Every structure is written in structure tokens, then in C-alpha cells.
Structure 1
């Protein structure tokens, strides 16, 4: 797969970039972790744009204690619907269920499936593999018969989804479940995921700065996520390093033309296909990293809404 980028970002995205530059926001690598978290919360949090039947904050048991979750119920009829576990982006360092509230509301509304957003532990307080183990605990919880009955979900149709670092965690959780003989995963949705080392790619060089996520930001996130250099070689940290990707769940992989991670995601989609895993790959040539969050004012991008519909169609085709 050789994904391309357009000559220029989409006009809506260009307006976002101009606005982002105008507020003189610190790059992630220019301040402290607390600065970065505060900036990201301010950038991504706002009034909900999609009303659902219910949205409930809860907690489940994890390896270090309680893991907060948020359950989105779209109010669709019928029993045993697919269930989506969503892992938010933010470089494993920033982000929360609040920053991705609109994303999960939209996901539940578009698919008609209940969505569970997982507030996994963030680095540097909880470096690799702590957040991943929280995500795996959420998968085990979702596969329990009691959970399925309560959420009117089908434990045989569990979906792992996430964006950016969350896409990495979704892919890694699927790989870990396969290798541990854990719960079956029916599908994975990987939105501009981190899957390997993106630095040798054309996308990392040509999109190194000026398109929201920069090469410097990416390196800053990695420095906080990996407490030990040896962890960078771990296949559950960067799933594209795995020798064998066979017998993983079918996947939708989404990338963006002006994203330094574009070629990384495309390479993982290609590796999955080569291993015999069904893949639906979509590259949005005029989009940037994070465009799935651009679904409400002041940055409401039509292409982002179209991408949700496309992912929902992939899930419907595969699961129903």
C-alpha cells in the first residue's frame, strides 16, 4: 500500500491549523506533562454534540485497582448487539474519556452499538505495559457473560477500536488476546495508529511539522511511554514488530495524508493482509492526524463525518 497526500490540506483542516497556530499553543514537547494534559483537555473537551439514551461513568477491576470506564448506550432495539471497546488517543500520555466523549458518542450513534470508553493508565506514571494491561482487563470484562447480559451485547462480537496511541493499544490488545488464548475479538478499528517505528517513512519526514502532530511531539510521547529502551522492541508495544500477524481479527485501518504516522498505519494494514487477515483500508489524503475528533464547532469537518459512516459500514458488513 502506498498512501498519498493531497497537494494541500482540506480547507476546513487548513482553517483549524491556522486557528491552532493563532492561539500560540505549546507543542507537546515544549512543556511539562501537566501542561500537555491541560492543553489537550481544553482543545478536545466541549458540550456533547450527540444525545444518546444514556451515558454512564463506572469502573471495572484492573491489574492495579479500578479502571474508570464510560458506557455509551445508543438505545437501539434488540439483544446481543456487537460491543465496542474504545481506547482514546493522546500519545499514551494525555487524553481521557472526556477528551474523546464526542468521538464515542458519534461512534455509538453511527453504529447503533454500545461503546465502552476505557480510561487506561497514562505514562509516565504508568509506562508500558501498564495502560495495555488495563485495556486487556477491559476486554476480559467485556467478554464475561454477566457484562454481555447487562449491556445487551454479544460476547462473540467484541470490537477493539482506538485512535493514534489508542489504535496502538487496540492492535496490541488483539495481539495479546491471540497469544494468551484470551477472549475472541471479532474486529479491530485502528484510526491512524502507532504500530512500529514511523521515523524511516516518507510520511514522517514530509509531515514532520506544521500539521498538528509533529515529529518532535511523537518522540516526546515515546520518551514518556517507554521507561526502558528495551521495551521499544516489545511486539506488544509496537505490534508491527511481531513476526506473525496471522489469526488476528479483521481490521479497518484509517490513515491521513498529512499525518507523520500515515505510512506506519499503511504498513500495518499491508502486514495484516499478507498474513491473511481481511483488511479494509482507507486513506484520507487531505486530512491530518486527529481528524476523527473534528466533528463539532468550531472545527466541524464533513470528511470526518463521512469517515465515521465508512467505518460503521465496515462493521455492519463484517458483523451483521
Structure 2
């Protein structure tokens, strides 16, 4: 697992050899951005949301009066926290703003919570196209601020609250971190954007060479973004395309992850470069042998399982 700091990010990253277990499983698994009806795509993903689950201390559900109706958040408490007031990771699941359930991310949430000794909070934000931007951003920001306000009651250290997410959730991680900075909001201890959609990847090398057969379909991203934004929205706005922020200075310390066989590889790498150039503390991880979505594929690939645990170890170093 190549790990870089902000001072030594390579000028480009690429593909190695696709993990053979992933290569064998991918043709049998769901496809994100498939050319099918949304309902069919959602049904296909339910295979990722079935047990049995890894052991953990406790799992329960919070239901809060959010800004757009009730907001459900699933809390994962480790068997043994690494501090009296625990660190916490607020997590925004991926799925192109259109797909994804909390069950589908239950395995990585449990693995990270237990391995890092922190509490994870997975947000069940409203999906597109039923809900449009900025509903999802409002809901995530609401919960982050709620957790800061209620940290002590939650047994959480307010100086060890992180925000993370994958893919579209990585996009929203970057956006909410920018928004909290812009609004002088509470200070995150860490942001963890995993293969974030920092910009649309259609004209990148990674978007071209990884366009089909590797879980996330490049051209399917067009439809998922279309589900998310309204005609009146400016797609270049930093709260939709965080790579376009006028400045990336004064953002939280960051762990950013990309994958070789991922359409979003190059836009994620570009965002890492922006963060580093702006002087932010950065740990950049690149998996040349993995695809988009690897934390969900831990049952099918030992390399995906190992990469998820290594991510948990990095998070533990920062907020555990």
C-alpha cells in the first residue's frame, strides 16, 4: 500500500495489476452506474447488504429532527474504545448520490470502528433523484454540527471528530469540510475522502481506461450527477465540484485514498495535490491493484479487507 505525505505526492498515479480475487468476483457483482432503471440498480446492490456481520461492541440507531425531515444515523460502538472520550468518524456512504443503504456499508463501518477503537456514525441521507442538491449537504452538515454540540453526551471527544465518505460520499466530505471552513463552523479533527468525486472524471485518463467492467461505470456518472443537480445549479460551484474551490487552504488534516482501477482516480489525485499545495496536513494512499468501492468488497477479496483495516489503522493514529 503506497502511502505518501503531502510533501512527496507523486505527479501522477496509475494502475498496477488488478487483484485476482476482485477480477474473479466483479463479473458476478453489482454495477454502479449500469445502464438500467434506478430501481433495478438499487435491487442489484442489496447483495452487499446481507450478513453475517463482523463482531462489534454495539450497534444502534439515532433518529433526529433533521433539516428536511427525520434523519436516521446508525451508530457503531467498538468493544473497546481507545480513549475514555472516544474518537468519532461521521461517515457518508457512496453510491452516486442515487444508490446505497446503511446495510450495504455495515461491514466497513464495523471493521473501522472496532479496529480503530472509535465510534462510527453512518448517515442515511436522502437519495437522488427523489431529493436534490443541497438536501444531502444540509443533512450531513446538520449531523456534524449536532455531534459537536452533543459530543459529551455521546461519550465522544469533540477534538477527535472526523468526517469521511467514499465516492459521492467523498465528494460530500470535501464539500462539508469546505463549507464548515467558509462558515467558521466547528473544526474537524480529520477528513477522510475515499476515492472522492472531486470533479467529473469524463475527460481524465482514469475515466477513459477504467470506463467499464470495474464496478463503477464512467458514463453512468453522468446520469447520477444529473439525478443530484437541478438545471438551475451551477455544476462548477465548489459545493458541487470541490476541486473548483477558490482556495483549499485551512482545511482539516486529511487521509485521501485513490485506486488504480477507478474512474475517479485522477480527480482524487488532483484533489490531494490541491490540499498539499495549500499547506494542509495530508496522508495520501494509492492502491494500484484495487477498484472503486473496495471497502464494500472485503468478503470477496483479501486485498480489499486488508486495505480497509489499513485505513482503520491510519484513522486510529489520528483520532483513536
TM-score (normalised: structure 1):
0.92
Gap change, CA 1:283 and 1:33, over 3 Å in 2: same
* Alignment of 1:46 onto 2:50: yes
Q: Deviations over 1:7-36 (max 9, x none)?
A: x4110111112323xxxx676342222222
- Aligned length, in residue pairs: 309
- Give yes or no for contact 1:52–1:72 (8 Å, CA) kept in 2: yes
State how 1:15-94 maps to structure 2 within 5 Å. 15-20=24-29, 28-40=33-45, 42-77=46-81, 78-94=83-99
Identify the residue that residue 285 of structure 1 maps to in structure 2: 288
Gap change, CA 1:27 and 1:314, over 3 Å in 2: closer
Higher relative contact order (CA 8 A, sep 6+): 2
The answer for unaligned runs of 5 or more in structure 2 is 1-10
Gap change, CA 1:266 and 1:52, over 3 Å in 2: same
Gap change, CA 1:33 and 1:251, over 3 Å in 2: same
Distance across 2 between alignment mates of 1:75 and 1:169: 29
The answer for unaligned runs of 5 or more in structure 1 is none
The partner residue of 1:248 within 248, 251, 263 is 251
Distance across 1 between alignment mates of 2:216 and 2:244: 23
Distance across 1 between alignment mates of 2:238 and 2:92: 18
Where 2:311 maps in the other structure, the secondary structure is helix
Alignment RMSD (CA, Å)? 1.6
State how 1:293-312 maps to structure 2 within 5 Å. 293-296=296-299, 299=300, 301-312=301-312
- Give yes or no for contact 2:108–2:308 (8 Å, CA) kept in 1: no
Where 2:261 maps in the other structure, the secondary structure is coil
- Give yes or no for contact 2:115–2:313 (8 Å, CA) kept in 1: no
Identify the residue that residue 3 of structure 1 maps to in structure 2: 13
Identify the residue that residue 177 of structure 1 maps to in structure 2: 180
Distance across 2 between alignment mates of 1:169 and 1:27: 18
The partner residue of 2:130 within 118, 125, 149 is 125
Identify the residue that residue 217 of structure 1 maps to in structure 2: 220
TM-score (normalised: structure 2):
0.92
Distance across 2 between alignment mates of 1:179 and 1:62: 22
Distance across 2 between alignment mates of 1:318 and 1:70: 22
Runs of 4+ in 1 over 4 A off after TM superposition: none
The partner residue of 1:138 within 140, 143, 151 is 143
The partner residue of 2:169 within 161, 166, 169 is 166
| Cα displacement (A) at 1:229 | 5.4
Distance across 2 between alignment mates of 1:242 and 1:68: 30
